Amino acid sequence: MSLARVHAFAISLDGFGTGAGQSKDLHFGHAGDRLHQWRFATQSWQQTSGSRGIDNLFALEAGAEIGAEIMGAGKWGHPGWEDDPDWKGAWGANPPFHTPVFVLTHHPRPSIEMEGGTTFHFLDASPAEALEQARKAADGDDVRIGGGPTVIRDFLAAGLVDYMSVAIVPILLGRGVRLWDGLEGLEKTYDIESVASPSGIVHVTFTRTAT
């Protein structure tokens, strides 16, 4: 069974998965890199140095047995990317995905093959349709739902997420895009655990209960 997984998705204490005012220079808006500094400090990010504690374990898990990613248009590009035919994503020539990546957008364009095994495909499709395509591409491995918050929320609302870990960062952004809107009762279909890291991050995991 190929699972749909969300990993180490960072939100502020007040629930924002990205800040307000996203632009080409501010991929997370006024949040800057404050939602992700904990991850930059880990061995999985730094490779030859970095912490190997609980934050690192959650970061490491994000890449294991993933055969494809689904992301939203707001993760792939800044507002207005659809008018920039040369835009190839925010990660340079060799993006860190190394798998097919399905970008959900109302402005699909031809697929873009990057270095290192990443190919961006563009879909104007429902979450269920996108997951079906991504599963085929994943060839038996799992599919990561990579965000942003709107996409994760849509997949959760559609009942399509098998596992999710959320990293709550102890800052209050006050504005931006919320992860949790409209998900009343989500706890009924998941086992939820929490662990507080000495770094200040709280990792909350959602594991789908047997149905």
Q: Closer to a copy of itself by CB, 19 or 147: give it.
A: 19
128 binds a copy of itself (CB under 8 A): no
Q: Does 158 bind a copy of itself (CB under 8 A)?
A: no
CB–CB of 39/55 below 8 Å? yes
Binding flag, residue 33, a copy of itself (CB under 8 A): no
Q: Does 161 bind a copy of itself (CB under 8 A)?
A: no
Q: Does 183 bind a copy of itself (CB under 8 A)?
A: yes
- Judge whether 66 and 134 are in contact, CB under 8 Å: no
Where would I find the H helices in the chain? Answer: 37-40, 43-46, 54-61, 73-76, 127-138, 149-157
Q: Exposure of 164 by Cβ count < 10 A (0-12 exposed, 13-18 middle, 19+ buried)?
A: buried
Stretch that binds a copy of itself, among 1-9, 78-86, 143-151, 167-175 (CB under 8 A): 167-175
Q: Which residues have CB under 8 Å from 154's CB, separation 6+? A: 127
Of residues 96 and 170, the one with the C-beta less far from a copy of itself: 170
Residues that bind a copy of itself (CB under 8 A): 13-15, 168, 170-175, 180-187, 192-196, 200, 202, 204
